[in-house]
Amino acid sequence: MARIRAGDVTLGHRQWGSGPVPVLFIHGNLASKDWIEIAAQWFPPDLAVHAVDWRGCGDSDRPTPDDDYDNYSITQHATDMLAAMDVLGLDCVHLVTHSTGGIIAARMQLIAPERIGRILHLDPVSPMGIRFEESSIAAFRAMEQSKQTTRAVMANAASSLFQADSFLPGKMPRFRDGIDHLQAMYEKVIDQTFTAGHGIWLGTPLNLTKEAETGELAGRIGELVHETLILWGQQDAIILQKDMRAMAEALPDARLVEVPGVGHSMNIEAPQMFAGFVAGFLSGILPEPPGTAQPGPSPSRVRWWQSRTA
């Protein structure tokens, strides 16, 4: 386990690969850096993929939340990620995000656009945020108190791993046959999820609701000019198709790919496929801030090619 000091917290960190193309993975709510562990074995060798746990998750510190959970806000997580980049010596990176990691990336884009190249979003929370009603907040409270409840609810985050007819009220979803290695990974992430800090269990839904209600980030979506690929699993029951289409339409430079056969978490449900999208979008391309590219081969691509052919 590696840990790095970033601002006022110590955050868990893992790295896969040591190539010249730096990538930062930002995980989703109740998750961790390890959600790309299986996919990482298929990442191309020219990538150096860094994954950092949010505060309150994985191997990171779990600060006591403020009364309004402001120290677990989306902006706070974005600031933590940028501070981690400083410690890791990463001036500019591509971003790969999952779920709530998508809206954290949007905040990073506004704070430090010059430090970000391309962005690959996997089933992201859009800049519009998500409104959680009190019944949904109650569900998070119940999950925090019961690992069995957590396991049952979190099955919706990787729905293609389970038998479709096993998603019934009061029942525990059952794994499909023949996916032992993915089942083992799911059990690992459930163990991690249940150890999340209180600031995550309630802070995340409350702060996503604040983002949705203020509309400030949604109003600045035109400033999110980085080249973006959005992947959305057609079996995703958490992120709505209409929200992904609206996000892709509103961003200045984005395209949406709707992927059949997977749900909310392709990184766990179909890790080799996910690695293929990462490779196709990022391999061989050094990150450059938007607006810096010149006609013809960019200086960064020339430097990358020279490093590969020297």
- pLDDT tens, position by position, 233-251: 999 999 999 999 999 999 9
Model pLDDT, residue 1: 64
Model pLDDT, residue 48: 98
The tally of domains found in the chain comes to 1
Model pLDDT, residue 115: 97
Ranges of the chain with pLDDT below 50: 294-310
Separation in Å, CA 204 to CA 69, 227, 300: 8, 27, 37
Model pLDDT, residue 238: 94
Model pLDDT, residue 293: 55
Residue 199 CB burial class (10 angstroms; 0-12, 13-18, ≥19): buried
C-alpha to C-alpha distance for 86 and 79, rounded to whole angstroms:
11
Residues forming a β-bridge with 6: 9
| Domain that includes residue 194, residue range | 2-309
Model pLDDT, residue 291: 75
Q: Which of 35, 226, 227, 210 is closest to 125 using CA atoms?
A: 210
Q: Which residues, 6 or more positions from 11, have their beta carbon under 8 angstroms from its beta carbon?
A: 3, 4, 5, 52, 53, 54, 55, 59, 60, 61, 80, 84
Residue 140 backbone phi and psi in degrees, to 5: -65, -40
Model pLDDT, residue 172: 87
State the SS3 of the chain.
Answer: CEEEEECCEEEEEEEECCCCEEEEEECCCCCCHHHHCCHHHHCCCCEEEEEECCCCCCCCCCCCCCCCCHHHCHHHHHHHHHHHHHHHCCCCEEEEEECCHHHHHHHHHHHCHHHEEEEEEECCCCCCCCCCCHHHHHHHHHHHHCHHHHHHHHHHHHHHHECHHHCCCCCCCCECCCCHHHHHHHHHHHHHHCCCCHHHHCHHHHHHHHHHHHCHHHHCHHHCCCCEEEEEECCCCCCCHHHHHHHHHHCCCEEEEEECCCCCCHHHHCHHHHHHHHHHHHCCCCCCCCCCCCCCCCHHHHHHHHHHHC
C-alpha to C-alpha distance for 223 and 251, rounded to whole angstroms:
8
280: domain CATH number is 3.40.50.1820
The two structure tokens encoding residue 25: 């993975």
The two structure tokens encoding residue 163: 């038998």
C-alpha to C-alpha distance for 274 and 195, rounded to whole angstroms:
26
